[in-house]
Amino acid sequence: MTYSILILGGTAEAKALAAQLATSPDYQILLSLAGRTKAPAEQPVPVRIGGFGGPEGLADFMRDNGIDLLIDATHPFAARISRNAAEAAVAAGIDIMALRRPAWSRQKGDRWQDVADIPAAVQALDIAPRRVFLTLGRQELLPFEVMKQHRYLVRSVDPVEPPLQLPHVTYITARGPFSEWDEIQLLEKHGIDLIVSKNSGGAASAAKIAAARRLGIKVVLIERPRLPDVPSARSVEELAGMARHWKLSRRKRGE
């Protein structure tokens, strides 16, 4: 029997998980991407791009397409998508599991200021002019326009359009992951003395945190939102193991 799995992705872990599960003939994998990136990275399985229309739309999609298992492997800050996934799974009567990568933990040498959200991060910049590296999604940059006295460095996969209404901002278009050495060179080249980042966790974007630690740069770190309580794993390997156990359980029950 073949089981149909829908993976809500957009992360490096989602791609790795899809590749790992696709090696088994027991799974038919569909990877869903939100479509926020104009040129998404190549994926190892069939891809669906775009939203579903809330939890009701996602539940309808899963019923109509015979989905057996929903895997939420979205970004830790994609709280709305995760909530929709949990609600849709219940509504459709479909099993769900999620990837919950560990947050970064403070190490010796870190100069972190933990804040609750984007507005708090804006206020943490203070009045005195600084050179700020904003490592946030394009949709989260607008609140910083009120702090026009700072010089900003913004890095994104796609160009920021329209540009921010700021007098001093430099844009870099690049796709990670980046090495610690690359990040050190970037921070030194632009004279950065403060970084604004989400506590995304994982290895893909940890290099900037390590570089800040090495250079003694302050990091304003946005805390994670609360996510739904569903069966979850901390790594791709653990989640793949959960999917295999789920498959065996289904077969024992004759499903």
Q: What is the pLDDT along the chain (255 residues), one digit of tens a residue?
A: 899 999 999 898 999 999 999 999 999 999 999 876 665 667 889 999 999 999 999 999 999 999 999 999 999 999 999 999 999 999 999 999 999 999 999 999 999 999 999 999 999 998 999 999 999 988 899 999 999 999 999 998 889 999 999 999 999 998 888 999 999 999 999 999 999 999 999 888 899 999 999 999 999 999 999 999 999 999 999 999 999 999 998 888 887
Q: What is the pLDDT of residue 203?
A: 85
Q: Give the residue among 66, 22, 58, 62 at the shortest CA–CA distance from 43.
A: 22
From CA 66, how far away is CA 62, in angstroms rounded? Answer: 6
Q: Check residue 182 and give its pLDDT.
A: 96
pLDDT at 41: 66
Q: What is the SS3 assignment for 115?
A: strand
Is-contact 219 211, C-beta < 8 A?
no
CA distance 208 to 153: 13
The pLDDT of residue 40: 66
Q: What is the CATH number of domain 111-222?
A: 3.40.50.720
Q: Which two tokens stand for residue 140?
A: 């989260």
Between CA 241 and CA 244 the distance in angstroms is 5
Question: Are the C-beta atoms of 124 and 115 separated by less than 8 Å?
Answer: yes
CB 212 within 8 A of CB 219: yes
Q: What per-residue string of b and e applies to 88-115 under the rule 16 or more CB within 10 Å gives b?
A: bbeebebbbbbbbbeebeeeeebebeeb
- Please give the C-alpha separations between residue 150 and each of 1, 134, 193, 194, in angstroms, as whole numbers: 59, 11, 11, 11
pTM of the model: 0.90
Kindly list the domain boundaries of the chain, sorted by start residue: 3-101+227-252, 111-222
Cα–Cα–Cα angle for 244, 245, 246, nearest 5°? 90
Dist. CA 60–CA 231, nearest whole Å: 22
> What pLDDT, on the 0 to 100 scale, is given for residue 34?
84
Q: Do domains 3-101+227-252 and 111-222 have the same CATH topology?
A: yes
Dihedral pair phi/psi, residue 90, rounded to 5°: -65, -45
pLDDT of residue 160: 92
What pLDDT does residue 252 have?
81
Q: What is the C-alpha to C-alpha distance for residues 232 and 76, in angstroms, rounded to an integer?
A: 12
**pLDDT at residue 208 in the model:** 96
- The predicted pLDDT at position 155 comes to 94
**Domain 3-101+227-252's class?**
alpha beta
179 φ, ψ (degrees, to nearest 5): -80, 160
pLDDT at residue 37 in the model: 65
